[in-house]
Amino acid sequence: MARWEPGARERLVVAAVDLFTEQGYDATTVAEIAARAGVTRSTFFRHFSDKREVLVAGQATLSRLLAEGIAQAPASAGPLEAVAAGLERASSEMGPVNRDLGPRLKAAVAASTELQERDALKSIGLASAMTGALLARGVPDPTAHLAAELGVLAFKRGYARWSEAGPDEPTGLAPHALAALEELRTATRTLD
């Protein structure tokens, strides 16, 4: 097995998601994930503390990108415009592997209560990162929290649409996430 071959983390994520989908989360072992990815168990544990952590691979990076985009939005941008800038920044880093994993990851999460819980924690982490970035811009607390939650929902809805669109889809994630955010903005106007 190639211990130091580049791309091990990405291969581990793909292997885990495939195995979770094929045989279920509970039936999948770390040894099987490592073997499928062509690495050793110790390589797995250099990247992840346990198999649950595979689900949130890249969460810290995604949180950072969302917060950076919000921070870099023009000073005149309103809260949702800043969130849109965060979505654009994070979307720019999502490529074909991310899109291809979408449907399989969705199926794996739907089939496992443990993964659903981990996915919920991931959403909380993303919302927290965006809330912090909005608060740093001077957005009032309730508004920052609401805008961040809408941002997470828009990201998830946009990602689902993008990943379901297939490999022939000419656009990246950003147009889907921004369209979802606009739909949510419109929906909030009907809440009165």
What is the DSSP track for 60-115?
Answer: HHHHHHHHHHHHHS-TT--HHHHHHHHHHHHHTT--HHHHHHHHHHHHHHHT-HHH
Provide, rounded to the nearest whole percent, the portion of the chain with pLDDT above 90: 61
- What is the structure's pLDDT at 6? 64
Q: Provide the terminal-to-terminal Cα distance of the chain, rounded to the nearest Å.
A: 60
- What is the structure's pLDDT at 89? 96
The structural architecture, per CATH, of the domain 8-54 is Orthogonal Bundle (1.10)
Same CATH fold assignment for domains 8-54 and 58-188: no
69: confidence class by pLDDT, cuts 50, 70, 90: very high
**Following DSSP, what letter does each residue of 27-56 receive, concatenated?**
T--HHHHHHHHTS-HHHHHHH-SSGGGGGG
Compare 66 and 99 and report the one with higher pLDDT: 66
Instruction: Out of 19-23, 128-132, 180-184, pick the least confident.
Output: 19-23
Average pLDDT for the chain: 90
Judge contact between 121 and 107, C-beta under 8 A.
no
Question: Does domain 58-188 match CATH 1.10.357.10?
Answer: yes
Give 3-state DSSP helix, strand, coil % of the chain, rounded to 5.
75, 0, 25
Judge contact between 94 and 173, C-beta under 8 A.
yes
- What is the structure's pLDDT at 3? 46
- Residue-range domain boundaries for the chain: 8-54, 58-188
Judge contact between 158 and 178, C-beta under 8 A.
yes
pLDDT of 2 over the 50 cut: no
pLDDT of 114 over the 90 cut: no
- What is the structure's pLDDT at 5? 56
Q: Which residues contact 160 (CB under 8 A, 6 or more apart)?
A: 102, 106
1: confidence class by pLDDT, cuts 50, 70, 90: very low
pLDDT of 27 over the 70 cut: yes
